[in-house]
Structure 1
Amino acid sequence: MDISTLLSQAAFKWPDRIALHEPANQKTLTFAELDRALSGVGQALDQLHIPAGARVALLADASLDYLLADYGCMATGRVRVPLDPSLSADELLAQLQDAGAALLLFSHAYAGVAQGLGIRCLPLAAVTEHPVVDVAARAAQSPQALASLNYTGGTTGTPKAVMHRHASLCAVLQNIVMGRGAAVGDVLLNVRPLWPIAAVAVFAHVLSGGQVILGGRFDGKTFIAQLTEFNVAFSSLVPTQLLRLLRETGSAPADLPAFKSLDVGAAALTGEVLEGSCSLFSERIGVLYGMTEAPWSCYLSPAQMAAVRASGDSGEGVVGRPLFSAAIRIDRPDANGLGEILLGGPQLMSGYWQLPDLSAKALDNGWLRSGDLGRIGSDGLLRVLGRCKDIIRSGGKSVQPGEVEQSLMSHPGVQDVHVFGLADLEWGEQVCAAVVLEGSQAVSAQQLMDHCRAELSRFKVPRRVYFIDELPRSHYGKVQKNRLLAALDLQP
């Protein structure tokens, strides 16, 4: 199967239904109009002499034109390369050169940046508003043809792009459609950036016969009103957005009779944010687990999450069971069943672009080494408990940062925390903590150490506590350690 065929099938099933709606520009496209517009993108690229297999980069915020260019590239044999607009010009140029991009398509907001990069670039409208000439049905793409390059970890080091072929993206789409269980006509509100892989999750909703509302940039003050106005059934937020929403609205249950699920990646959710979210959305929180290399590999439906919480478990870190085409296993589990999470299935990437050694290291006999620590419970549910590389080796013993963070977060004066290791000549590494205090609290480092000492083994107690106004986090809620160390004037 391939992206072009899936789109054509959707247009055949629901030609007159609304597929995409962008209220800010009063634009709508039916399924038939969407399918035709994607062929128009291909015709425009043909006239620009962008051949099949060429990489076409996208630098834009979430919009209807973005999706047309994104899906149109894949449906007509080109390779989409979605870029993170928050990157510096040097970082963007490094990714464009690494991809060998033949063309950069940009939205108006990034015209200055795009035109200053010194490569061939055009506004999105150059391909999305191209007159469509009646032609025969689009050719199907080979399932093994490259469809997408998705850059990860873009703020540091050498560019690293995940390769997804049509076959792997189709497996991802199948997992999402089956996991989410959307009905024809259900509305999904998108307020997330569409790079590097979110556009695929939006695409899955279209393939369910649903309608996608492109709601612009997330705003915690208006998000609940958008859900109400458009009778939304599904949406998705990243942890940083969810935290802002709770700060704006509080956690009192919202009146959302049509709402079915807010899908969140749970690994970065603290217990407090999860608790507030479950209250705000009346236990309609779905949890997904995956990564750019293996999107949507596990899912915990709202009903399953509610059952977990009803059992007395907070639900923190629980990410569900493998989806239809996915498999999971724990590599070299310890006595408590804890080990590295390995992911298998056709949804896996085919490797990293032009990095064969790194690809071979990540893909071990058909299993992707996630780098995450986890365990599978007797109920078959996977729980994510941290990152392998974040394990602190101190005095010959292993310390899981998450355990120390949980202890510190239980102190009433702590709002946010990140625990990490620093090299130490005597101990190998010292356990350190960066702490954000509640504004009204006056707490010393020694008080926090004493608090941990009452709950944890001595070797797990932080030896250094640093106070910071805010932890630097990525869009997905992960603490950016290099930026944190720089802010604390520390060396890694």
Structure 2
Amino acid sequence: MDISTLLSQAACKWPDQIALHEPASARTLTFAELDRALSGVGQALDHLQIAPGARVALLADASLDYLLADYGCMATGRVRVPLDPALAPDELLAQLQDAGAALLLFSEAYAAVAQGLGIRSLALHTLTAIKPVDSPPRPAQSPQSLASLNYTGGTTGTPKAVMHQHASLCAVLQNIVMGRGAAVGDVLLNVRPLWPIAAVAVLGHLLSGGQVVLAGRFEAKAFLPQLVEYRVAFSSLVPTQLLRLLRETGSAPADLPAFKSLDVGAAALTGEVLEGSCSLFSERIGVLYGMTEAPWSCYLAPAQMAAVREAGGSAEGLVGRPLFSAAIRIDQPDAAGVGEILLGGPQLMRGYWQLEALSAKTLDNGWLRSGDLGRIGPDGLLWVLGRCKDIIRSGGKSVQPAEVEQNLLRHPGVQDVHVFGLADLEWGEQVCAAVVLDGSQPLSAQQLMDHCRAGLSRYKVPRRVYFIDELPRSHYGKVQKNRLFAALNLQP
């Protein structure tokens, strides 16, 4: 199967149903109109002499025109290369050169950035310059052909491009359709950026016959009114957005009769944010687990989340069971069943673009090494407990940063925290914490260390505490360690 065929089938099933609605421009597209527009994008790329197989980079915020270019590239045999607009020009330049992009499509908001990159071999056009026109039906694409390059750097290191073929993205889409369980006509509100893989999650909703409302950037004040106005059934936020929403609205249950699920991914839901979210949305919280290399691999449906909480269990770190085409296993589990999470299935990436050694290391005998620590309960539910490489080795003992972070977050004066290790001649590594205070009370490093001693083994207590106004986080909520260390004047 391929993206072009799936979109054509959707147009045949629901030709007159609204597929996309963009309130800011008052534009709507039915499924039939969307399908014709995607073919037109291909014809426009033909006129620009952008051949099938060429990489087409996208630099824009979430919009209807963005999705037309994104899906139009894949449906007509080009390779989408979505870029993060928040990157510095040098970072964008490095990604474009690494991809060997033939064309950069950008929105007017990023015209100055695009035109200042200075790559002579790169054609530049605004998204609105790609005007879809009526054209003949599209041919199907080979399932094994490359559909997408998705640049990801995680929280450290040099960005690298994840390769997805049509076949792997179709497996992802199948997981989304079966996991989310949307009905024809259900509305999904999108207020998230569409890179690097979120546009695929949006496509999964469309392939259920649902309508997508593209509401621009997330605004905490506007979010709940938007859910009511558009009679939204589904939406998705990252934990940082959820925290802003709770600070704006509080956690009293919202009156949302049409709402079915708020899906949360990326950084884990913990503590106050989890409790507040479940209250605000009346237990209609779903948790997805995956990564750009293996999107939508596990899903915890709202009913499962509610059942765990009703039984009195903690749902912190719980991410559900593997979806239809996915498989999970724990590599080299310890006595408690904790080890590295391995992911299998057709939704896995093909590898990293032009990084054969790293690809072979990450894809180990058909299993993707996630780098995450986890365990599988007797009920088959997966718990994510931290990152393998984040484990701190101090005095011959292992410390999981998440355990220390949760202890610190239980102090009423701590708003946010990140625990990490620093090299130490005597101990190997020292446990350190970067702490954001909530301003309710003055706190010293010694007071926080004493707080930890009351609830943690001595070797887990931070030996250094650094105070910072705000932790530098990515859109997905992950702490960006290079920026954190730079802010603290530390050497990683």
Q: Would the TM-score normalized by the shorter structure come out above 0.5?
A: yes
**Worse-matched range after superposition: 480-489 or 280-289:** 480-489
Q: Does 1:205 align with 2:205?
A: yes
Change in 2 beyond 3 A, CA 1:79/1:43 = same
Match of residue 105 from structure 1? 105
Match of residue 270 from structure 2? 270
Match of residue 481 from structure 1? 481
RMSD: 1.0
The one-letter code of the counterpart of 1:278 is: C
**Partner Cα separation in structure 1 for residue 473 and residue 314 of structure 2:** 24
Q: Does 1:467 align with 2:467?
A: yes
**Partner Cα separation in structure 2 for residue 267 and residue 476 of structure 1:** 6
The one-letter code of the counterpart of 2:326 is: A
**Structure 1 position 314, deviation (Å):** 2.5
Change in 2 beyond 3 A, CA 1:114/1:48 = same
Classify the secondary structure of the residue corresponding to 2:221. Answer: coil
**Partner Cα separation in structure 1 for residue 452 and residue 155 of structure 2:** 33
CA contact (8 A) 2:39 2:132 kept: no
Match of residue 95 from structure 1? 95
Match of residue 383 from structure 1? 383
Of 125, 131, 151 in structure 2, the residue corresponding to residue 122 of structure 1 is: 125
Classify the secondary structure of the residue corresponding to 2:194. Answer: coil
Match of residue 286 from structure 1? 286
**TM-score under structure 1 normalisation?**
0.98
Match of residue 357 from structure 1? 357
The one-letter code of the counterpart of 2:132 is: H
The one-letter code of the counterpart of 1:478 is: K
Count residues in correspondence.
489
**Partner Cα separation in structure 1 for residue 190 and residue 48 of structure 2:** 31
Q: 1:332-371, aligned counterparts within 5 Å?
A: 332-371=332-371
Of 130, 133, 137 in structure 2, the residue corresponding to residue 131 of structure 1 is: 133
**Structure 1 position 270, deviation (Å):** 2.1
Classify the secondary structure of the residue corresponding to 2:372. Answer: strand
Match of residue 231 from structure 2? 231
**Partner Cα separation in structure 2 for residue 320 and residue 81 of structure 1:** 30
**Structure 1 position 267, deviation (Å):** 3.9
**Partner Cα separation in structure 1 for residue 330 and residue 443 of structure 2:** 39
**Structure 1 position 173, deviation (Å):** 0.1
**Partner Cα separation in structure 1 for residue 483 and residue 462 of structure 2:** 20
**Structure 1 position 266, deviation (Å):** 6.1
**Partner Cα separation in structure 2 for residue 155 and residue 94 of structure 1:** 18
**TM-score under structure 2 normalisation?**
0.98
CA contact (8 A) 2:188 2:213 kept: yes
CA contact (8 A) 1:87 1:155 kept: no
The C-alpha deviation readout for 1:192-235, integer Å capped at 9, x for no partner, is 00000000000000000000000110000000000000000000
Change in 2 beyond 3 A, CA 1:491/1:204 = same
**Partner Cα separation in structure 1 for residue 110 and residue 455 of structure 2:** 51
Unpaired segments ≥5 residues, structure 2: none
**Partner Cα separation in structure 1 for residue 113 and residue 384 of structure 2:** 38
Match of residue 419 from structure 1? 419
CA contact (8 A) 1:271 1:314 kept: no
The one-letter code of the counterpart of 1:53 is: G
**Structure 1 position 269, deviation (Å):** 2.1
Match of residue 54 from structure 2? 54
Classify the secondary structure of the residue corresponding to 1:450. Answer: helix
**Partner Cα separation in structure 1 for residue 40 and residue 154 of structure 2:** 31
**Partner Cα separation in structure 2 for residue 40 and residue 373 of structure 1:** 46
Classify the secondary structure of the residue corresponding to 1:314. Answer: coil
**Structure 1 position 373, deviation (Å):** 0.4
CA contact (8 A) 2:267 2:477 kept: no
**Structure 1 position 290, deviation (Å):** 0.1
The C-alpha deviation readout for 1:398-446, integer Å capped at 9, x for no partner, is 0000111111111111111111000000000000011111211111111
**Partner Cα separation in structure 2 for residue 154 and residue 102 of structure 1:** 26
The one-letter code of the counterpart of 1:452 is: C
**Partner Cα separation in structure 1 for residue 155 and residue 439 of structure 2:** 30
**Structure 1 position 116, deviation (Å):** 1.2
CA contact (8 A) 1:144 1:167 kept: yes
**Partner Cα separation in structure 2 for residue 306 and residue 158 of structure 1:** 39
CA contact (8 A) 2:266 2:477 kept: no
Q: Does 1:300 align with 2:300?
A: yes
Identity of aligned residues (%): 86
**Structure 1 position 481, deviation (Å):** 1.0
**Partner Cα separation in structure 1 for residue 157 and residue 481 of structure 2:** 13
Q: Does 1:67 align with 2:67?
A: yes
The C-alpha deviation readout for 1:333-388, integer Å capped at 9, x for no partner, is 00000000000000000000000000000000000000000001111110101000
Which stretches of structure 1, 4 residues or more, deviate above 6 A after TM superposition? none
